Amino acid sequence: MTMSEQEMLETAMSYAPVLMFDRNEPFYPDLVGVSILECSGPSPSFSREIHFPVEAVQYVIEFSIWWDYEIGHLYEMEHVWIYVSHDGEVVDCEASFHGKVIRGLLKDRVNVVERHVCLYSQPGKHAFSPLPVVFELLPNLYSAAGVNAGCDGLLVNEMFRGYFETNEQIDASVRSFLQTKAFIPSMEFEEYLLEPSVFMPWAQLFAIIPERIEARLRELGIGR
């Protein structure tokens, strides 16, 4: 099965996760990169191998969800993987959680409504979980959104080395801005639906990320 770009995006939107955000959340997703894997192999945008039995799974949809800001640093990308069977049912879901991967599908599929998996986003930090109580087990749940806001400045991870860089001035400016966004998580969550306009192929998203970083830096008065 080979999909056109439009078919890929329409398929992704028909399975897009429903995200739940803290009602005090300052940052919502800006863009979503889409990849569809029809056989096991490396993730296009996350450091992992994705394995699935082709007799049970027709394809896996990878959602690379992009924020220009999270509470600890400039830009964030989290992931959701939806496993789709040959009859179009969601048979599994995985999500990113602080660089790791957790299961996103609850027992008896109680967090799936019409193909859409419901996932909660950690306040400010945006890691995903099918159960919000998981966030309450994190020792920095409140400090990350409060006193430690902006602590990482402009994070430059392995994927983006060579595309942009940081220095003390940039980190200080990002930190100063994000400290104005510090908040206390309410742990009361509201539904957020991803708009069709935010979806694009992953390669397209990857190509424009450096431009978005430079635009945010210019807004902070430190870009070119």
Q: What is the amino acid identity at position 205?
A: L
Given CA atoms 54, 102, 125, 19 in this order, what sign does their dihedral have? positive
- 91 CB contacts (<8 Å, ≥6 apart)? 56, 57, 83, 84, 85
The number of helix segments (H) and strand segments (E) in the chain equals 4, 13
Pairing between β-strand 128-129 and β-strand 116-121 as defined by DSSP bridges: antiparallel
Rounded to two decimals, the pTM is 0.96
Q: Domain residues of the chain, as ranges?
A: 5-212
Give the pLDDT of the chain (224 residues) as one tens digit per residue.
678 899 999 999 999 999 999 999 999 999 999 999 999 999 999 999 999 999 999 999 999 999 999 999 999 999 999 999 999 999 999 999 999 999 999 999 999 999 999 999 999 999 999 999 999 999 999 999 999 999 999 988 888 888 788 899 999 999 999 999 999 999 999 999 999 999 999 999 999 999 999 999 999 998 65
